[in-house]
Amino acid sequence: MSGTSATPSSGPVKALHLGSGAPLLLLHGFLLSPHCWEQTAARLAARCEVFAPALAGHWGGPEFSDDDYTVPTIADRVEAQLDDLGWRTCHIAGNSLGAWVGFELARRGRARTLTAIAPAGGWRTPSAAQLYAAAKFIALTPLIEFGRKLGDFPTDSRVVRRAVAHLLVRNVEDVPRADIANQIRAALHCPALRPLVAATLRGPGLADMSELNTPVRLILADSDRFLPAQTYGRRFLRELPESADRIMMRRAGHVPMLETPERVANLIAEHIYASRDHLRAV
């Protein structure tokens, strides 16, 4: 393991790196950090070599240029890390922004399989869905900038922790206090907030997915309060190849790894091994 321990830490993490076996890349969502994968990664490490980096511009991640901050440039940084590991290809699981980056890496031929969990980027440009997604992040901007001035108050406050948890998960009581505190710290230490909102407004969403050759498992959450599946899952359901798995997680929110890590680990592992054995998972 590199960059952290099996127990949740409270400082920035450049990457989680643990386990042995099939190479597996885990990508976190916007404003978050590798901390959100800690419990899931620990379960997958029994069968995979797991690498979960901090994305560029996020807490613990590489620096970035404000003028060139887009999903393809984030993917460039991740691809360079894969090269450093000697991973020509790997299995990829991503959540939200991380899933969007995962689709970009799949187009580049770097993904053996892709598990996309509550993926972002499934909007047309321009569209009401695109503007609504950007508006949500714009609304968070003053709150995050104010929170940066309050020291430890945002992570120590039970009210703040519950409000943040409510955005990320369905079952707030199922998420340990330390895990939510780390997501708050990640948001407060994410300089990419404004550049990525701008990129969301001016740039395109995902390119057409119908020709993807990578085995894809799409996982939507029925209680996603941030990118509701009814709106942001439609294009994925429509465009992904018929061979792609389409799963609706019940009683789960936008970042299900925080509230049900074992369930998410099982869904990722099932997809990896079904594809390896040329079987289709149900």
Give catalytic residue positions: 96, 224, 254
Q: Per the structure block, which two tokens stand in for 224?
A: 């996603």
Q: Please tell me the distance from the alpha carbon of residue 200 to that of residue 134, in angstroms, as a whole number.
A: 6
**196: its two tokens:** 């990525």
Q: Which residues contact 275 (CB under 8 A, 6 or more apart)?
A: 112, 113, 215
Burial status of residue 128 (CB atoms within 10 A of its CB: 0-12, 13-18, 19 or more): exposed
What residues have CB less than 8 Å from 73, skipping those under 6 apart? 56, 64, 65
B/e letters for 236-259, b = 16+ CB within 10 Å, e = fewer, are beebbeeebbebebeebbbbbbbb
Which of these, 118, 214, 245, lies nearest to 170 by C-alpha position?
Answer: 118
